Amino acid sequence: MGKTAIVAGGTGLVGRELIMQLLEDPAYTKVIALVRKTMQISHLRGNEKLVQIVTDFSNLDAIIEPSILEHSHVFCTLGTTIKKAGSQEQFRKVDMEYPLKLGQMANTGKADAFAIVTAMGANRKSSIFYNQVKGEVEEGLSELKLNALYVLRPSLILGNRDEFRWGEKLGSVVSRAISPLMIGGLRTYRPIHAKTIATGLIKSAKSGQIGTHVLLSAQIAELASK
């Protein structure tokens, strides 16, 4: 039998790419998308195996049946910005509390793999709030001792977002220009496309490796190219 994939955050930049790739992957017979609003996907190939669940992430226990999680691959692409969240407290809920709750449920439900996108600078001791929260969620998930945990730390993410972010747009232009010069140890700072990250998530989950694995941008790109 094929695998069930469970995706939290399917309407975001990486999440959308992930959903599209999962629908086309014959290894997955069901794709459950936990979304804040329903996606229009009738045009996508493989859409018949997609189940969308409009989700209140603060009440995951009431939405996800433990039996659904058994032997599944759970993907977390939840993420926001402080501007969009409205406060640091709300940002922490979306980027740390919700992923941790999902991780706890995946662990209890005996999921085969849990894969999450964090950030290149993730570090709970960072003076930058964003990186600090990303580091805290990584540490919290590691402590759960999941069967297989894959943490992907991309650098600047390329792709077409629904909302315009001036800082990211400027960074994208500059990074694209100097990317060819980023060789050796600098390769991990190259911008990376959302499609590449989505491929890295899937290939990580399907690798069958147990334990915790952290992949930086260059490693994600290398894995996705295989």
pLDDT digits (tens, 9 = 90+) for 85-132: 999 999 999 999 999 999 999 999 999 999 999 999 999 999 999 999
Which tokens go with 160? 């077409």
Stretch 150-177: mean pLDDT, rounded? 66
Question: What per-residue confidence (pLDDT) applies to 187?
Answer: 63
Q: In this structure, are residues 149 and 108 in contact, taking their beta carbons and an 8 Å threshold?
A: no
For residue 46, name the pLDDT band (cuts at 50, 70, 90): confident
Pairing of strands 28-35, 73-76: unpaired
Q: What is the mean pLDDT of the chain?
A: 89
Indicate the pTM of the whole model: 0.89
Residue 177 has pLDDT above 60, yes or no: no
| Cα(132)–Cα(182) distance, integer angstroms | 26
pLDDT of residue 42 exceeding 50? yes
Q: What is the pLDDT of residues 206-218, one digit of tens each?
A: 999 999 999 999 9
3-state secondary structure of 40: coil
Question: Which of the pair, 39 or 120, is modelled with greater confidence?
Answer: 120
Report the catalytic residues: 130, 134
Q: Identify which of 1, 38, 37, 5 has the alpha carbon closest to the alpha carbon of residue 198.
A: 5
Give residue 66's pLDDT band: very low, low, confident or very high (50, 70, 90): confident
Quote the percentage of the chain above a pLDDT of 90: 75
Q: What top-level class would CATH report for the domain 3-225?
A: alpha beta
DSSP letter string over 101-157?
HHHHHHHHTT-SEEEEE--TT--TT-SSHHHHHHHHHHHHHHHTT-SEEEEEE-SSE
